[in-house]
Structure 1
Amino acid sequence: MRKNSIKNTRVNAEVQRELSNIIRGGIKDPRVAPMTSVVSVEVAPDLKTCKAYISVLGDEKAQEDTLKGLQSAERYIRRELARTINMRNTPEIKFIVDQSIEYGVNISHKIDEVTKNLKDET
Structure 2
Amino acid sequence: MGDIRSNRVAEQMKKELGELLSQKIKDPRVGFVTVTDVEVTGDLQQAKIFISVLGSEEEKHETLVGLAKAKGFIRSEIGKRIRLRKTPEISFEFDEAFDYGNRIEKILRDLNN
TM-score, scaled relative to structure 1: 0.84
Q: Amino acid of the residue matched to residue 68 of structure 1?
A: V
Aligned to 1:65: 62
Shift of 1:45: 2.1
Say which of 10, 15, 18 aligns to 2:16.
Answer: 18
Q: Amino acid of the residue matched to residue 40 of structure 2?
A: V
User: Structure 2 CA distance, aligned partners of 1:74 and 1:50?
Assistant: 12
Aligned to 1:33: 31
Aligned to 1:102: 99
Q: Amino acid of the residue matched to residue 92 of structure 1?
A: E
User: Structure 2 CA distance, aligned partners of 1:32 and 1:101?
Assistant: 20
Q: Amino acid of the residue matched to residue 49 of structure 2?
A: A
- Bigger shift: 43-52 or 65-74? 43-52
Runs of 4+ in 1 over 6 A off after TM superposition: none
Q: How many residues align?
A: 113
User: Structure 1 CA distance, aligned partners of 2:103 and 2:59?
Assistant: 18
Q: Amino acid of the residue matched to residue 103 of structure 1?
A: Y
Q: Percentage identity across aligned positions?
A: 40
**What SS does structure 1 have at the residue aligned with 2:90?**
strand
**Residue correspondence of structure 1 range 65-104 to structure 2 within 5 A:** 65-104=62-101
User: Structure 1 CA distance, aligned partners of 2:42 and 2:86?
Assistant: 11
Shift of 1:92: 1.2
**What SS does structure 2 have at the residue aligned with 1:62?**
helix
What runs of 5+ residues in structure 1 fail to find an aligned partner?
A: 118-122
Aligned to 1:120: none
Aligned to 2:39: 42
TM-score, scaled relative to structure 2: 0.91
> For residues 85-117 of structure 1, what are the alpha-carbon distances to aligned partners after superposition, in whole Å with 9 as ceiling and x for unaligned?
1111111111011111122122212322332x2
